[in-house]
Structure 1
Amino acid sequence: MDEPISNAERYPAKYWHRLSDGRIQCDLCPRDCKLHEGQRGACFVRGRVGDEMVLTTYGRSSGFCVDPIEKKPLNHFYPGSSILSFGTAGCNLACKFCQNWDISKSRSFDKLADQASPEAIAQTAERLGCKSVAFTYNDPVIFAEYAMDVADACHERDIKTVAVTAGYIHAEPRRDFFAKMDAANVDLKAFTEEFYVKQTGSRLQSVLDTLKYLKHETQIWLELTTLLIPGFNDSAEELQALSEWVARELDVEVPIHFTAFHPDYKMIDIPSTPTSTLIQARKIAQTAGLKYVYTGNVHNREGEITFCSSCGAALIERDWYEIAQYRLTTDGHCPDCNATIAGRFGEYAEIFGRRRIPVAIGDLI
């Protein structure tokens, strides 16, 4: 039985319509949840009250933290800068390997903070010197109305916005949501329909449609992440198909991060990803023509470096999330051959480093 929706959770939601049988349908994502009175969608945070759809997590967060931008991961979006990260609860996917399952699978809303207005988040990011704000930990598309309002408040203060998402969203809300974002890291979880259906409860094509939309119809800076799970999505054949699709349908300059799985949630019996698998994935992607391929969740120095795609010079050397050397010009060129490096760069004033600084809700302005 669904948890009752309290008065405090009833923020009017967009993207739904009434059905002839009396139910209402959520039009936010391809799940197309059809709800009777009092029911919640699969994401658990969008529900029906009376004849309307409501968002139950508007203005409420599961926590705030100042991170290095590289942790999102974004390696070509103002490297070395800090980002104020936050999320809410719930998710519209059902990934058996979720690494943030305590937040994304949450059914308990008593732990969500109540004083996280869009203006307070933007002002806090400015006060803490953050270049940007990230919607992360759980998928921001399910709290789209809240995220878009936060983005508006951030942009008034010249603070960038970043969506860390699986990209499982319908066309109309996708247009509205990403119009408010400056960058996105999209989790391309695998490259087979079987994996998406069995391991995430979603469909691959909708994600591919989002990726093509972001690359070809927006000005958003886009990077991809694929978590490699041993025996599930790490075969050479699948990685080659994925890499070739990115090169063909997106662009060889779209950075991709192959990251290591660790046992969690409903996959505690699956071993961690060997570093050798990530190194192989990187080589496969480079052979397919991708220019910026990274490894993550393991300490592999070569897989952390941004190399010039023209002359091969090491331009940004990283040690985990800390930048050890930064040689890009302020306008994003290689100082050795003057080749343009894809990304969003600017005045490089300081290195935030690998710190992770929790921000208490009472510290919000």
Structure 2
Amino acid sequence: SASLGICKNCIEKEFEKSKPFIEKAHSIRRFYGLPTFPPKSKGGIKCSICGNECKLENEEIGFCGLTQNKEGKLIRKIGNEKFGLISWYKDWHPTNCVAVNWCAGGTGAGYPKYAKKPTTEYGYANASIFCGTCSYHCLFCQNTSWHDMVRFKNEIMEARKLANSILKDETYTCVCWFGGDPSCQAPFVWSVSHKLRKEAKRNGRILRICLETNGNFSWYWLKKIAKICFESGGGIKFDLKFPKGSNCNVALCGVGNEKSYKNFEKLVDLHKRRQEVPFLRASTLLIPHYISIRDIERIAKFIVSLDESIPYSLLAFFPHYRMSDMGLTTTRFAQECLRLCKKIGLKRVRIGNLHLLV
């Protein structure tokens, strides 16, 4: 991609020489008032909301744009337990959820405990909550509206109001937090989800809570949210963009992925405890020239080593944001990846966004 100026081979074999190109590519974040990379100021105060763990000196703003060091104290007016930077809408089942082939809303899995119907929940809906900031900065981002949301901060919602709006509509059977990424607003995500779960449990209502995330969470918050997701019949989908420790994650997403993989591993026990509705789910966007068959092999082997029943979606790529000059995923490559994943031992694997394949 011209915006990055370096190929996969350079990133993997000449990473030190690639760094100036990577920094230049991600400096576009300054236009939105955001630092190029997660700040790590010596002597700065550590923010523990997401996995980036920014260290901020006085007046410095965190990678997410929501936390700031003000005279030695971390101030966060949005993305706390009371207020969130979000937009949301009603999405009738079946949705375009990545896990729709295996989740309760899409298939009736876990009926009658977790689903209203033994098949797709036609007539019921998902509350799709878009979080307006992110703990990554993907040059290929498919949902860039969060950029303006964090820049202008004019879409603020109170936790109780959001929860009440969902609870008063009986057609909602699930809630999906996505973005951007929910990791940067974990206190708000937990607060709303906790309120929803408490009321749903009290009234015997099916209301599943799900996350779609890059996985770059603080474990403290992820553990609390995961418990709610698990009990409600929902799940957590990790976007494993590149293999564990890959420099391509730094180059194309601005941040390493070690925290994401560690969090994925920690949640496997919950997945094993609930077989009827898969709790953990994973996906990878098949980016031409930057994702190879070897990458998919490494990711698939990682998933199989944890639990072969974890669903994995191979998603066709659409050129967007800073990588709008890229091509589409080919059918041949997607099918090759699918066959390999099955050969490795994954029991639930599919190709998503079929209409984008060429």
Common fold, TM-score beyond 0.5? yes
Render the CA deviation track for 1:88-131: whole Å, top value 9, x for unaligned.
Answer: 311111111111122156433344144x4335435425515111
> In the alignment, which residue of structure 1 is the partner of 2:342?
286
Asked whether the equivalents of residues 183 and 218 of structure 2 are also in contact (C-alpha less than 8 Å), the reply is no
Equivalent of 1:277 in 313, 333, 358: 333
Residue 175 (structure 1) aligned with residue 223 (structure 2): yes
Count of paired positions: 283
Report which stretch shifted further, 193-202 or 96-105: 96-105
> In the alignment, which residue of structure 2 is the partner of 1:46?
67
Asked whether the equivalents of residues 32 and 151 of structure 2 are also in contact (C-alpha less than 8 Å), the reply is no
Aligned counterparts of 1:271 and 1:141: Cα–Cα separation in 2: 30
TM-score, structure 2 length as denominator?
0.71
Residue 257 (structure 1) aligned with residue 300 (structure 2): no
Aligned counterparts of 2:64 and 2:94: Cα–Cα separation in 1: 27
Structure 1 residues 117 and 170: alpha-carbon distance in aligned structure 2, compared to 1, 3 A threshold: closer
> In the alignment, which residue of structure 2 is the partner of 1:71?
96
> In the alignment, which residue of structure 2 is the partner of 1:239?
296
Point out where structure 2 has 5 or more consecutive residues left out of the alignment: 1-29, 34-40, 107-119
> In the alignment, which residue of structure 2 is the partner of 1:93?
136
Residue 154 (structure 1) aligned with residue 196 (structure 2): yes
Q: Structure 1 vs Structure 2: percent identity of aligned residues?
A: 20
Asked whether the equivalents of residues 236 and 281 of structure 2 are also in contact (C-alpha less than 8 Å), the reply is yes
Instruction: Using the TM superposition, give the Cα deviation of residue 46 of structure 1 relative to its aligned residue in structure 2, in angstroms.
Output: 2.3
Render the CA deviation track for 1:181-207: whole Å, top value 9, x for unaligned.
Answer: 231111000115111111112223221
Q: Secondary structure at the match of 2:150?
A: coil
Aligned counterparts of 1:3 and 1:274: Cα–Cα separation in 2: 34
Structure 1 residues 120 and 89: alpha-carbon distance in aligned structure 2, compared to 1, 3 A threshold: closer
| Equivalent residue letter for 1:195 | C
Aligned counterparts of 2:251 and 2:148: Cα–Cα separation in 1: 17
TM-score, structure 1 length as denominator?
0.70
Structure 1 residues 297 and 20: alpha-carbon distance in aligned structure 2, compared to 1, 3 A threshold: closer
Asked whether the equivalents of residues 48 and 54 of structure 1 are also in contact (C-alpha less than 8 Å), the reply is no
| Equivalent residue letter for 2:103 | F
| Equivalent residue letter for 2:282 | L
Residue 144 (structure 1) aligned with residue 186 (structure 2): yes
Q: Secondary structure at the match of 1:190?
A: coil
> In the alignment, which residue of structure 2 is the partner of 1:56?
78
Asked whether the equivalents of residues 133 and 160 of structure 1 are also in contact (C-alpha less than 8 Å), the reply is yes
> In the alignment, which residue of structure 2 is the partner of 1:230?
288
| Equivalent residue letter for 1:95 | C
Residue 164 (structure 1) aligned with residue 212 (structure 2): yes
Render the CA deviation track for 1:220-276: whole Å, top value 9, x for unaligned.
Answer: 71111111100101x22221221111111x211111111111111110111111232
Asked whether the equivalents of residues 61 and 86 of structure 1 are also in contact (C-alpha less than 8 Å), the reply is no
Render the CA deviation track for 1:267-286: whole Å, top value 9, x for unaligned.
Answer: 01111112322222111111
Structure 1 residues 66 and 33: alpha-carbon distance in aligned structure 2, compared to 1, 3 A threshold: same
